[in-house]
Amino acid sequence: MQHVALYPGSFDPVSKGHVDVAERASRLFDEVVLGIYTGDEVADKRALFSPEERKQYAIAALAHVPNLRVEIFTGLTVEYAREVGALTIVRGLRAVSDFEHEFKMAHMNRHLAPDIDVVCLMTSSQNSFISSSFIKQVALLGGDVTGLVPDVVVDALKQKFGTASER
């Protein structure tokens, strides 16, 4: 029996931190599904990129990982985990501040689906300060995000916001 893990998130945009966690998860599980949550039901976050764009960027960034596939989903994460046959949900932790949120989410998921476990992977230290929100803010203000996100995302952000020299 293959052990499938779901790595869910908005990935708006996918960062080097996301890539790091996905690569490491791929070494622990037979198959990893990187699930891009559309967020259509949650009004507190507005996505910069469409789900299809986020999928395209994640596929490009993780093409070198043979046992990983990228999908788009909506609804409850635990229901999608069941749909793809995942027994584990993978989450990344950057700092103590992430822990409290992930802890609460893990307990809610456990309440909803006691048969699905949550595994948290600590991000590599060089990625611990990276968040998609910071990436978007820096890019919007014309800052250089090279090295923080895959090259395909650097190009997409330049197209979306332009560069400081173009302003």
Q: Which residues are catalytic?
A: 18, 45, 94, 132
- Cross-sheet strand order for the sheet of 86-93: 68-73, 31-37, 4-9, 86-93, 117-122
Q: 20 with 123: CB under 8 angstroms?
A: yes
Q: 7 with 35: CB under 8 angstroms?
A: yes
- How far is residue 69's CA from residue 35's CA, in Å, rounded to a whole number? 9
The residue length of the chain stands at: 167
